[in-house]
Structure 1
Amino acid sequence: MVSSSPGAAPRLAIVGGGIGGLAVAAFLHLAGLPAVVYEQASALKEVGAGLVLAPNVVRLLRRLGVMGKLASHAVPLDVGWEFRRWEDGRVLSSEDLASSCERLYGERTYTAHRADLHSAIASAVPAGTVQLGRRCTGISVRGDSVMLWFADGTSVEADVVIGADGVHSVVRGAVTVPSPATYSGICAFRAIVPVGRAPEFARRRAQTLWIGPGHHLVHYPVSGEAAVNLVAFAPAGDYTTESWSATATVEEFLAEFAGWDERLRDLIRQAGTPGRWALLDRAPLARWSHGPVTLLGDAAHPMFPFFAQGAAQAVEDAAVLARCLAEDTQAPPQALQRYESLRIARTTRLQQVSHARAHVNHLPDGPEQEARDQSLAAADPLTAGEWIYAYDPGAADAGAAD
């Protein structure tokens, strides 16, 4: 294979065509750098359910030019962090996003189905960028280049490999010694309820969190308000399957919320066939990059979903990585190291605070729970989260880590 000639753009290979992989391809294209995305699936699609799009990711999606495409599917939230008590639905606190979010951060907060976000980002990727049915099975660094091997028996050589291949990343093994994940003791349920079957309280443009002993449940509208997304967290017991294709029954879902407010249980009863997966715990990595190989998104920093920042951090990674590569096309390893230095402290902090939130949400009734509820009533999460929501990689100091 012919190597890149001096002065030519580096050959960029992205392993994984999820939200992070497509986002980095889109930002690289915006910077004038072509890339190839190798995706193992036979069709370009996203699984999963809903997600929250806070201002830090919305401003980047707008920069990509995809908010117009997403607008008909995304739902602007009027209320966020509406915490409710488990047994009676009493509102413990809520945040007025409609009047404050754009004033503070220049953007609204939205909810969307993952598939709609994925499709919107895909629209910013040039035709021919994504190769489907290419499951990466091996990676080897050879001096200044990298070889990738695929399940179909083919291989490619690249000057830079970006591992956007998720929590079970193959690329990660070329960067650091893989460490086994540990079971968190928490499992998640997810479901999409058509809006016509959802109770009135769940149809509002609100992100609502019901919290109680050992459990919590979040719901909000998605898909242009045609559906309500549910995601709930409960003790895992001996359940260890970490797969978004695994399912549960409505009866199993309901059993986890026995004794909770009957209005919430009525919503769960409309859940169809819920998904169920175990949350695995992974410590933050000490490094993401090694020579011409780097990681992005869940491959670099998988985090519990309790701050709703997983997809947002992958898109932030993509924007910073594209900028670093565009500024130093002739020295990719240095560009990758710079990308890591700009991103690792921020994502590590988010991993840590997301991890800690599980304990806070799941307190049993008692003095500690009462103190938490009082704290929630006095809190202003939108302002307290300035370090998350005001972040803009395009405005970051080029000489300092964010």
Structure 2
Amino acid sequence: MSGGIAIIGAGIGGLTLAVELRRRGVEVDVYEAATDPQPSNDGVLLPANATRHLDRLGLEPGLGEASAAVDGFVWRDGHTGATVGRCLSAEEYAAHSGAPFYGIRHGDLHALLSKAFGTRGLHLGHRLTGVTDHGTGPVRLDFAGADPVEADVVIGADGAGSVLREHVVGYDDIQFSGCVAWRGVVPRSDLTLLPDPERLQLWMGPDAHLMHHPVADGAHAFLLVRRQPGPWAPDTWSWPAEPDEHVHAYAGWHPAVVQMISAATCSKRWALLHRPPLTEWSRGRVTLLGDAAHLMLPHHGQGTAQAIEDAVVLADCLTSTDDRARARASYEVRRRDRARRIQVASLAAADVLHLPEGPRARGRNKRLGAPDVYERHLAWIHDHDVAEIGRP
């Protein structure tokens, strides 16, 4: 098989790009390593900068039915439960940003995109093992246990452990953030102590925080984050967790926090990894998208949204000109600075959320409690529309 556009990875970013290109009349081939993809049950945040595009792809009303509306933001003291700041109802958020804010299970979002793309052009069981790009003619893609493929354009949407990222950069540039995390989803019936159950909440404490949000059926998806001093083994992304170690790590936190995390079995502890911003997203005919381009920490909940933004812009660039080199350059110009800025903000957020008691924490709380907290700190992320903004 040869020619055309090959997308490596059938995750959220790769499938969004494939659906959007097909909507624009361009057929693509998507190559996925798994033979039977089973996305996790973890929660995913879909703020307005993502949902506006998923709506344009035709995923509503299914998206709304599979999600929970997020009714604004709350920041709390992790030990006392005191409200530090809150902003926007769901109605105010939609009016401000022009689109809704949803929480959804990863598997449910993946299922919606998979259904939208279908099986035509989808190649499962194709784990990429090698890339050959001589600069003239098509790129050769080699797969384990499958025939090689040639393509005129190759999109690396192959996630956090991207093979194509290493092809573009020349080495593995993964970095440990100094934090570890536990993830879980808890039924609403197990959350009798939880205040503001319809909101995205961040509970803050010295060297740790909890972020959680609603998903379908009233359940809450949570991410526990704690500083972990000491080395990290670079060939390991996760470790088996000791029974209830995540509960013991948050002993003394507010009863609502302890109740939530005690209701979930966390069998793994994850290293929170990131990659430094790139100055170039392409090498030859290969270009990157989503986590392969800008793996970021989850503290702003923007990883999925940024992959969706990438897909929308790249589809626009690839269908606006027959010059593929120009399309790749335009895509990079339109996406690089924004993605970099969100990467940096996400990396810095842990330092802000993990402050010990004292003057700096009081200053943070004053900023989060201000009536203009959304406009000053979040609107630049959530209100952005890449379909309308950023063209050179």
- Whether these two folds match at TM > 0.5 is yes
Work out which of the residue numbers 265, 273, 295 in structure 2 matches 1:272: 265
Partner of 1:136: 128
Alpha-carbon shift at residue 176 of structure 1 (Å): 2.2
Match of 1:231 among 200, 223, 248: 223
Aligned residue for 2:56? 63
Matched, 1:257 2:250: yes
**Structure 2 counterpart of 1:191:** 184
Distance 1:255 1:40, change over 3 A: same
- The partner residue of 1:83 within 70, 75, 81 is 75
Query: For 1:72-107, what per-residue CA distance to the aligned partner results, in whole angstroms no more than 9, with x for missing partners?
Result: 121112232x11102110011111232311111211
| Correspondence for 1:35 | 28
Shift of 1:65: 0.5
Provide Cα deviations, 1:232-276, integer angstroms capped at 9, x if missing partner: 100234574787775424521012112211231122111123442
Check conservation: 1:88, 1:261, Cα contact below 8 A: yes
Q: CA deviation at 1:153?
A: 4.4
1:322-375, Cα deviation, whole Å (9 max, x unpaired)? 1111111x3212211111111001000000111111100000111111111111
2:69, 2:214 within 8 Å by CA — same for their partners in 1? Answer: no
Tell me which amino acid in the other structure corresponds to 1:284.
Answer: P
Aligned to 1:201: 194
Q: Which AA in structure 2 matches 1:197?
A: D
Q: Count residues in correspondence.
A: 389
Whether the 8 Å contact between 1:47 and 1:244 is mirrored in structure 2 is no
Q: What's the C-alpha RMSD, in Å, of the aligned pairs?
A: 1.9
Give how far 1:154 is off: 1.9
The amino acid that maps onto 1:318 is A
Select the residue among 91, 106, 120 that pairs with 1:99: 91
Work out the CA distance in 1 between the residues paired with 2:15 and 2:27: 12
One of 4, 8, 23 as aligned partner of 1:15: 8
Residues 239 and 231 of structure 1, relative CA distance in 2, 3 Å threshold: farther
Q: Would you say 1:46 and 2:28 are equivalent positions?
A: no
**Cα 1:150/1:364, change in 2 over 3 Å:** same
- Residues of 2 paired with 1:20 and 1:88: CA distance? 39
Equivalent in the alignment of 2:348: 356
Partners of 1:102 and 1:35 in 2: how far apart?
33
Question: Any idea what SS the aligned residue of 2:117 has?
Answer: coil
The normalised TM-score by structure 1 is 0.92
Structure 1 residue 179: Cα displacement: 4.2
Instruction: Go from structure 1 to structure 2 and tell me whether the alpha carbon gap of 1:308 and 1:42 turns closer, same or farther (over 3 Å shift).
Output: same
Give the Cα separation in 1 of the matches to 2:344 and 2:105.
Answer: 26
1:317 paired with 2:310, answer yes
For 1:216, the equivalent position in structure 2 comes to 209
SS at match of 1:338: helix
Separation in 2, partners of 1:263, 1:397: 42
User: What's 1:8 paired with?
Assistant: none
Deviation at 1:30, TM superposition (A): 0.9
Q: 2:337 corresponds to which residue? A: 345
CA separation in 2, counterparts of 1:275 and 1:199? 26
User: Which stretch has the larger CA shift, 119-128 or 146-155?
Assistant: 119-128
Deviations 1:110-135 (A, max 9, x none): 11111111111222214322111110
8 Å contact kept, 2:182–2:266: no
Matched residues in 2 for 1:48 and 1:113: separation? 6
Residue 385 of structure 2: SS of its match in structure 1? coil
Q: Which runs of 5+ in 2 are unaligned?
A: none
Higher mean C-alpha displacement, 137-146 vs 42-51: 42-51
In structure 2, the CA distance between the partners of 1:359 and 1:62, relative to structure 1 (3 Å rule), is same
Q: Which amino acid aligns with 1:157?
A: E
CA contact (8 A) 2:67 2:102 kept: yes
Given the alignment, which residue of 351, 368, 373 partners 2:365? 373
Q: 1:117 aligns with which of 85, 95, 109?
A: 109
**Alpha-carbon shift at residue 393 of structure 1 (Å):** 2.3
Contact 2:75 2:86 in 1 (8 A): yes
Contact 1:204–1:221 under 8 Å retained in 2: yes
Amino acid across the alignment from 2:265:
G
- Give deviations 1:19-72, integer Å, cap 9, x for gaps: 011111011111111111100111133225012111110100000001211211
8 Å CA contact 1:199–1:267 kept in 2: the answer is no
Once residues 245 and 128 of structure 1 are traced to their aligned partners in structure 2, the CA distance between those partners, rounded to angstroms, is 34
Query: Residue by residue, what CA displacement relative to the aligned partner does 1:182-216 show, whole Å, maximum 9, x if unpaired?
Result: 22210011011122222242672111110000000
Q: Distance in 2 between matches of 1:243 and 1:192?
A: 24
Equivalent residue number for residue 380 of structure 2: 387
Secondary structure class of the residue paired with 1:133? coil
CA contact (8 A) 2:183 2:266 kept: no
**Is contact 1:141-1:147 (8 Å) kept?**
yes
- 377-386 or 285-294, which moves further after superposition? 377-386
**In 1: Cα distance, 2:237 partner to 2:201 partner:** 23
Separation (CA, whole Å) in 1 of partners of 2:137 and 2:126: 23
Give the letter aligned to residue 185 of structure 1.
G
Q: Which stretch of structure 1 is more off in the superposition, 22-31 or 259-268? A: 259-268
SS of corresponding position for 1:272:
coil
